[in-house]
Amino acid sequence: MATKKVVKRAVEPAVENVRDRILSTARDLIYREGARAVGVDRIVAESGVAKMSLYRWFPSKDDLIVAVLNEERRRILAAWDKNMELHKGAPLKQLRAQFEGLAAAIQRPNYRGCPFLNAVTAFADASHPARALARQFKDEITALFRGLAVAVGAKNPDLLAQQLSLIADGAHASGQCSGKEGPAAELISIVDALVAAQLPAKR
């Protein structure tokens, strides 16, 4: 009796994997080339999915950009939490570690600045959802800095949090413009000086 040949069918990728592929491709392209420069057709071509699939998950390009920024937020906060856990119980080291991570990012050859500042630059319309999300994220980071400022015993936690936020954004901008050899090379020393000025004098 002849054995029936079994033909294996190609397994369709999981639906969630299609979304992840679109999001990963969009995130990479938008970060490297800018949200304005990258069109939906380019994302479809490089992700290898049908345009219908993209629009099923992201009804508009703005929806996709917001999803990309939310993914950037998730990754940044995951790195923040990792630094906090790594130096648990040592707030000065926790604070310094956040900026050491930023300094390391600026050293990378593919560094293109802060994705949230890039989004604000790309969309001048104050009502654009990317700008609202960027503002929300920056406020969130400032609040996290304030928590660390309180933990280290800063005399004025609100002021230190604002200063640290400003320095972080400045380092992002300088790193994108001048690279690792620019003023951002002094990031850690500036942070150390700001924190030291806020700590009570030792008796």
| pLDDT for the residue numbered 20 | 94
Torsion angle of the four alpha carbons 123, 125, 130, 131, in this order, in degrees rounded to the nearest 10: 100
Domains of the chain as residue ranges with CATH: 12-59 (1.10.10.60), 65-198 (1.10.357.10)
| pLDDT for the residue numbered 16 | 63
H or E element in which residue 175 lies: helix 157-178
| pLDDT for the residue numbered 182 | 80
| pLDDT for the residue numbered 28 | 96
Q: What's the chain's Rg over C-alpha atoms? A: 22
| pLDDT for the residue numbered 200 | 83
| pLDDT for the residue numbered 7 | 42
Do 33 and 25 touch, CB atoms closer than 8 A?
A: no
Residues of the chain with pLDDT under 50: 1, 4-13
| pLDDT for the residue numbered 29 | 97
| Residue tagged 């930023």 (tokens) | 102
| pLDDT for the residue numbered 185 | 86
| pLDDT for the residue numbered 193 | 96
Taking only the tens place, the pLDDT of each residue in 21-79 is: 999 999 999 999 999 999 999 999 999 999 999 999 999 999 999 999 999 999 999 99
Total length of the chain? 203
